[in-house]
Structure 1
Amino acid sequence: MRAAVATIRELAYLCGVSVATVSRVFNNPKAVTPKTREHVLRLARELGYRPNEPARTLATKKSYMVGLIWDTDHRSPGWRHPFFQEILIGLKTALSEEGYHLLLLSTSDEDAAGGPSLDGYLHAVRRHSLDGVVFIDSGNESPAPHAIAEAGVPCVSLDRPVDGPRATYVTSDNAGGARDAVAHLHATGRRAIATISGPLRTRPGADRLAGYREALDALGLPCRPGHVQEGDFYLAGGHAAMRRLLEGGDRPDAVFAAGDQMAIGAMAAIGEAGLKVPEDIAVVGFDDIELAALVPPGLTTVAQDKAGFGTMAAATLIEMVDGPAVEAPPPAILPTSLVIRGTTTPRF
């Protein structure tokens, strides 16, 4: 096994490029062609070379550290949700390719209501000299994202608008995806279409419910009393909401669940009631998690670009960190697509 390269000059010699080129790869990667950058980074990995981080920080006046804040505690299943796992992979990969490290921020400080302390997060951002922060919406209305953004820190939020001079957000076309789901159910012959929404305190939950209602109105279908049940984006929440729909006395012939895990939980409740999917009740989810294609008979769903979420957030944040622009980029709204599988077989 080859010994680790100790100096930038040694790496430059082995790569067949100048010392200045190697320096740009680590300090200003956009100034180097993708082919050269990949060549240098590949050899650096193979040879165990590590740039002089303190020197790089002094030269660029950047820490190359990005904070991640997801205001959910250990009692929440949020970190285990497959949708967020794929977002985090895309985010980490895109940041790493540009030489940035991702730091998960948490604080043991609590406010008067028992939630994470605003001062605790602000202190963490300043103590680590973070170049920017990424927020994931947990729906708990924490003031931390807004306060950090208003302080002028470059910020990108996922699914939740934040106000600040250098703050923007990335989201999916949630309402449009919901409209597509309902239109598809209508096209397969369903007319009593219910929904299991996400938590309405979250932007995706509220937008997907709005899209559901807009689609019903456009199709001339009534929004029946009891056909809207709020869920929580998880299996148990979808199961409980579906049981409420079945016990309500006005059984739907189709359900649009605003998350795949809720859709799968709903399918379990339908089976426990002695009914079949899609013969008795068709089901559409949202997200297109890996399990959607595996659960029989295959879940029709609205696919989000999960890895693209993280990649777009990283690119947008780096644009603000590296660029002199006074204003933040506009929000990025990623398209969705309908993936048709066995849970929505036509009735005719």
Structure 2
Amino acid sequence: MYAMSLAQIGYFVNIRELARASGVSTATVSRALNDRAEVSEATRERIRRLATELGYAPNEPARTLVRRRSDTIGLIWDSGQEARGQHNPFLLGLLSAVRTALSEADYHLMLLTTPAAEEADGSYLQAVRRHNLEGVIVLTTPPDDRCLRVLAASNVPCAGIDTGFTGPRTVRVSSDNAAGAEAAVDHLYGLGHRRIATVTGPLHLPPAAERLAGYRRACERLGLAVPPEYVTEGDFFLASGETAARKLLDLAQPPTAIFAAGDQMAIGAMHVAADAGLSVPRDLAVVGFDDIDASALVRPSLTTVAQDQRALGEAAVTALRGLLDAGPGKTKLEAEPRIIPTRLLVRGSSRPRA
């Protein structure tokens, strides 16, 4: 009853108190909780049972000092978009997937926000050292970020999702962006479309550049002409999709189909088509990329290239653990990129032309 009451009121014993309650040394308690062979099974089970009943909580700072490990991974992403009031549902879903994968691998997560422009170039690296982080996962931060370049050039293990940075202990994880874009164009071609335009993301970002490359490759393979005005750059957000679609639909020979490199831009294109009195998909077919939740909710529902967020998160954590296990001798050549397949989800925004 006494032991249960301690746990119920939120009192957590330390290792010395647990050792006294167990009638053994603190060293024996430590060995038992860490599954060391020197402790008998009966003693191990008794100590674990008491640890649960008494609400034992390990002293994490002390464990970190002794083991020289924090079991904590830093995560960097471009928080500037959120500060500007722009919300990227795909990135939020990816953040959740990474957090889940880290938790399943028994790692803690620490969010490292984008430094202000006036901060020192090495602020990411300083944060890693200050908090004794094991490594870092980077989510789609621009490759020209000075602080990120300093971090990548260090010996800190880094896994980047859809990033273009390189360093002695970095590895890249990405969806197969080019193949996904090719599948979108092939789908529209198969529906009878020959005037297929694209709205890209910011072309300094690897995913946007790769999706444009896939679009061009498919058009070349299929013998489709791509006038310069059929390629319009957006920023992955809805308003840029609306702006791009207005330009495309005002052309003397407007496209009959638009492949947008992000779902929000595709939905923006559908808004403009509706405002112009055009029917989607009868007058204009639209395909997006990402498969955010809204893509299935708009009407007509959006055909899109789906990325596997959970697989991306798991691959990033697995790749980072590989760098950690290999130690400082890991080279860039050994840390091969991890490419995750995409799949085309055909919905109402594209169908055979009448």
Q: Structure 1, unaligned stretches of length 5 or more?
A: 26-39
Identity of aligned residues (%): 47
Matched with 2:41 is none
Runs (4+) off by over 4 Å = 7-10, 18-21, 46-49
Report the more deviating stretch, 268-277 or 136-145.
136-145
Partner of 1:32: none
Per-residue displacement from partner, 1:211-258 (whole Å, max 9, x unpaired)? 001101111111123111111101111111101111122211100000
Of 337, 340, 351, the residue aligned with 1:345 is: 351
Q: Which is higher, the Rg of structure 1 or of structure 2?
A: 2
Q: Which residue of 2 aligns with 1:286?
A: 289
Residue aligning to 1:102: 109
Superposition map of 1:144-163 within 5 A: 144-163=147-166
In the TM superposition, 1:299-318 aligns within 5 A as: 299-318=302-321
- State the TM-score, normalized to the length of structure 2: 0.83
| Pairwise CA distance, 1:108 | 5.5
1:38-53 superposed matches below 5 A? 49-53=56-60
Cα 1:107/1:189, change in 2 over 3 Å: closer
Shift in Å, 1:72 = 3.9
CA deviations over 1:201-220 (Å, ceiling 9, x no partner): 10011110110011011111
1:142 matched to which residue of 2? 145
**Residue of structure 2 equivalent to 1:92:** 99
1:22-65 alpha-carbon deviations (Å, 9 max, x no partner): 4259xxxxxxxxxxxxxx9xx96x98553331343134311222
Q: CA–CA distance in 2 between the matches of 1:323 and 1:215?
A: 39
Is this contact kept in 2: 1:109–1:120, CA < 8 A?
A: no
Counterpart Cα distance in 2 of 1:215 and 1:2 = 68
Q: How does 1:22-41 map to 2 (within 5 A)?
A: 22-23=33-34
The alpha-carbon distance between structure 1 residues 227 and 7, as it changes in their structure 2 partners (threshold 3 A), is same
Q: Which residue of structure 1 aligns with residue 44 of structure 2?
A: none
Give RMSD over aligned pairs. 2.6
Deviation at 1:119, TM superposition (A): 2.6
Q: Write the distance in 1 (CA, Å) between the matches of 2:184 and 2:267.
A: 16
Query: Does the Cα contact within 8 Å between 1:87 and 1:308 map onto a contact in 2?
Result: no
Shifted more, 50-59 versus 166-175: the winner is: 50-59
For structure 2, which runs of at least 5 residues remain unmatched after alignment? Answer: 23-28, 37-47
1:242 maps to 2:250:
no
Where 2:203 maps in the other structure, the secondary structure is coil
CA distance 1:69–1:183, change in 2 (3 Å): same
**d(CA) in 2 for partners of 1:271 and 1:140?**
37
**Taking structure 1 as reference, are residues 108 and 330 closer, same or farther at Cα in structure 2, changes over 3 Å only?**
closer
CA drift at 1:166: 1.1
Contact (CA 8 Å) 2:77, 2:114: kept in 1 or not? no
Question: What residue is the counterpart of 1:330 in the other structure?
Answer: 336
- The 3 A distance-change label for structure 1 pair 250 and 137 is same
- Structure 1 residue 325: Cα displacement: 6.5
Q: Deviations over 1:261-315 (max 9, x none)?
A: 1100110011011101000000000001111111111111000011221221122
